[in-house]
Structure 1
Amino acid sequence: MLDIALLTASFVTFFVVIDPIGVAPIFAALTEGSTPAHRRMMAIKSVAIATGVLIMFAFGGEWLLGALHISLDAFRAAGGVLLFLIALEMIFERRTERREERADKMAHDDESIPGTHEDISVFPMAIPMLAGPGAIASIMLFMSGDGGTLTGQLAIFGGLLANLLMCLVIFLAVGPLMKLIGDTLAAMITRILGVILAALAAQFIFDGISGALLGG
């Protein structure tokens, strides 16, 4: 039977770290002036590449940690710290500002080549905006804790894929959606998600420290 609690935790965590609503205006800015066909292709490629990267880390992350002689508890604590820093940036809007600066730079560089549209599917959309450090850390943390069973993996990937599918839908309808949400509502949602992520990050840190102490 599918673990509903794990599915919910996975969905909320990935919703916070991937931030489909926060990424939408960046995608809109980077594809401004593109043809509908090009924007649609960028949306599909971005989500597909991000999905592949995260699945690769989900199954290969533990092997990578073993090769580097890093314990799962140490990675859990470090991942919690990383997510906490991301949460602080979301609460104080530093993450949004950095994304906007990157979008402006990409748009400016693209204007230097008339008649062309930049392929932004791999960078910066898939990596690091969708499959960023927070999402990679989260998928590895979930897989190290609850990914040992088939039902656990289904719940984890269910939460992940639901968010990536949401990103795809939002990207495909980004124009009307951004007008509907507005800057004020988007900023409010980002701050609320930042607080939730801070609490989840603290729990990861506590679990890592607890596991290290009990294991020792």
Structure 2
Amino acid sequence: MSMAHYVSVFLVSLSAIFFVVDPLGIVPLFLTMTAGDPPEKVRRTARRACAVAGGLMLFFALFGGVVFKVFGVSLAAFRVAGGLLLLVTALDMLRARSSATRTTPSEEQEGIAKEDVALVPLAMPLLAGPGALATVMVLMAREGNDPVAMGLVLAGVAITFMASYFVLRGAGLVQRALKASGMAVLERVMGLILAAIAVQFMADGVKELWHG
């Protein structure tokens, strides 16, 4: 494979994973759930949430293919299903509202009331939700047996959650810098790019199902 191919794999993987994880989108919830906590606890909560969510994503990236074999699901069918799930998330982002595929209002309220929110709901399902898990599984399966390309997908996961940690750690600064209007604009731009990636996933899956 050429260098251009690997650059393309890395950029598509990183953008797809980062946009579906969408750490900027959970900044308001993170601030609400950690309101009143001392700065050290806020940093610890962000660190634990990103570490657990990143570990979960890496696990599904490496071993998610077993799901295909156990349930007899083809990669093409999973691409279509994953693409549909991503498209729903992307449409919610375009409308600048929280996606129900990540968490429900009742889960959000339960998270606000909990003393430790790092694992649930921050790590799962806010950061590593169904859409994010489906995305990383599809990306890994699409690269087949190319270890370099698969390594680039894993690098995209690692970079996404390192960036997510710094976003959540500085959540107050992010919200003050972007304000409500800036957050909404950024959310819509990210949603548009994610929608295009979702459509590409579905198109590839439908093409494989048709020829299969």
What are the residue-to-residue correspondences of 1:90-129 with 2, within 5 Å? 90-95=93-98, 101=105, 102-107=107-112, 109-110=113-114, 118-129=115-126
Aligned pair 1:182/2:179, yes or no?
yes
Measured against aligned partners, the alpha-carbon deviations of 1:125-155 in whole angstroms (never above 9, x if no partner) come to: 0001110111101100011011522211221
Opposite residue 159 of structure 1, the aligned amino acid is: G
Q: Contact between 1:26 and 1:99, CA under 8 Å: does it hold in 2? A: no
Higher relative contact order (CA 8 A, sep 6+): 1
Which among 122, 129, 133 is matched to residue 132 of structure 1?
A: 129
- Judge conservation of contact 1:73–1:211 (CA < 8 Å) in 2: yes
1:167 aligns to 2:164 (yes or no):
yes
**Aligned partner letter, 2:171:** V
Tell me, what secondary structure is at the counterpart of 1:58? helix
Partner in structure 2 of residue 115 of structure 1:
none
1:17 aligns with 20
Q: Does 1:54 align with 2:52?
A: no
State the AA in 2 paired with 1:177.
V
Paired-residue identity, %: 31
Report SS of the residue matched to 1:94. coil
Which residue is equivalent to 2:72?
Answer: 69
Residues 102-141 of structure 1: CA deviation (Å, up to 9, x unaligned): 545533x35xxxxxxx111111100011101111011000
Mapped pair 1:45 → 2:24: no
Counterparts of 2:135 and 2:23, CA distance in 1: 16
Q: Which residue of 2 aligns with 1:153?
A: 150
Q: TM-score, normalised by structure 2?
A: 0.90
Q: How far off its partner does 1:89 sit?
A: 1.0
Give me the CA root mean square deviation. Answer: 1.9
Residues 74 and 212, structure 1, Cα contact 8 Å, conserved in 2 = yes
Instruction: Tell me, yes or no, if the aligned pair for 1:22 and 1:96 is still in contact at 8 Å.
Output: no
Question: Contact 2:52–2:123 (CA<8 Å) still a contact in 1?
Answer: yes
Q: Return the alpha-carbon distance in structure 2 between the equivalents of residues 207 and 96 of structure 1.
A: 25
CA distance in 2, matches of 1:213, 1:106: 43
**What is the CA distance between 1:94 and its match in structure 2?**
3.0
Q: Which runs of 5+ in 2 are unaligned?
A: none
Secondary structure in 2 matching 1:70: coil
Instruction: Count the aligned residue pairs.
Output: 207
* Partner Cα distance (1:19, 1:88) in 2: 13
- TM-score normalised by length of structure 1: 0.89
Structure 1 gaps of 5+ residues are 111-117
Corresponding position of 1:113:
none
State whether residues 88 and 194 of structure 1, in contact with CA within 8 Å, keep that contact through their aligned partners in structure 2. yes
**1:46, 1:125 within 8 Å by CA — same for their partners in 2?**
yes
Deviation for aligned residue 1:49: 0.5
After TM superposition, give the deviation of residue 100 of structure 1 in Å: 9.4
1:93 Cα deviation (Å)?
2.5
Aligned residue identity for 1:124:
P
Distance 1:54 1:168, change over 3 A: same
